[in-house]
Structure 1
Amino acid sequence: MAKHRAVMITGVNTLSDKLKENVTMDLVKKVVEENTIEMKRKMKRNANFKGHYIKVKGGKLKKIEPTGETRSSIEEKISRNGLTGVVSPKTEYAAYLEYGTRFMSAQPFVKPSYDSQKRIFLDDMKKLVN
């Protein structure tokens, strides 16, 4: 006759708590990822520039048409193990478009996107907490 051995499992409560924590963190990471992607969409949609004028010889104004380079350079990056999302344009002159210069007016596309998505992100995080 075979002997039966008792198996004792310890730490079930700790394991259960850890699983609950991980599920919660997975949900947080999903919210971060979804909001980062949506902010990128908004920023690309808002990056609809009208161009600007420069003075050329003789004091005449020449219109510089937008190339679309800043819009196409907008990228998102998820870091810190999924807890941080960053969306940014990669052209060197993106700040001139956002804030303007003494020669051209501001054409904001980053801040309006951020302000809009920030509210949605906070609402999504509140839903996770409640």
Structure 2
Amino acid sequence: MGKRTQFTINGLNGLSKKLKDNITLNDVKRIVKTNTTELNSAMQRESQSILTGHWEGSKFVKPTGATKRSITIRFTSGGLSGHTGPQTEYSPYLIRGTRFMAKRDFFLPPLRIQKKKFKSDLERLMK
């Protein structure tokens, strides 16, 4: 199976110093929770619009919705870290494709959009 994609922010020392001067950690937790929840919803919507079924031979197989249901949220580090993504074993094959199947990426487009929003939310908080 392929590697998992992970989004991290480097340079947390300078960020944490600035945050300590200006705001409380509850504000950061709120931003993390909001952005993780929005990303989760966007991934579920995108998966529903992209994964519309497939052909197996001459028979069309309707989607079951298992991938959408497997996209879940988890918070760690006391709410300072949020994780979301599909939990099915075959989701990396859907996202990246195989030699027999074109990719149906429902993961990266919402992540790119939410990453910009998350960064702007943190920058607005630091000002």
Whether TM-score is above 0.5 comes out as yes
Q: What TM-score do the two structures reach when normalised by structure 2?
A: 0.76
* 2:91 is the counterpart of 1:87: no
Residue of structure 1 in register with 2:65 after alignment: 68
Q: 2:74 aligns with which of 68, 77, 82?
A: 77
Give the paired residue count.
106
Q: Is contact 1:39–1:87 with CA below 8 Å preserved after alignment?
A: yes
Task: Measure how far apart 1:21 and its partner are.
Answer: 6.2
Residue of structure 1 in register with 2:53 after alignment: 51
Alignment of 1:1-80 (within 5 A): 24-48=24-48, 49-55=51-57, 61-80=58-77
Q: Is contact 2:53–2:63 with CA below 8 Å preserved after alignment?
A: yes
CA distance in 2, matches of 1:98, 1:62: 23
CA distance in 1, matches of 2:22, 2:117: 23
TM-superposition CA deviations, 1:84-129 (whole Å, max 9, x none)? 1110111111111111112221111111111110000000000110
Q: Where has structure 1 moved over 6 Å in runs of 4 or more?
A: none
- C-alpha root-mean-square deviation of aligned residues, in Å? 1.7
Task: Measure how far apart 1:47 and its partner are.
Answer: 0.5
Q: Classify the secondary structure of the residue corresponding to 1:104.
A: coil
* 2:101 is the counterpart of 1:99: no
TM-superposition CA deviations, 1:29-84 (whole Å, max 9, x none)? 110000000000000000021222234xxxxx333321111001110111111111
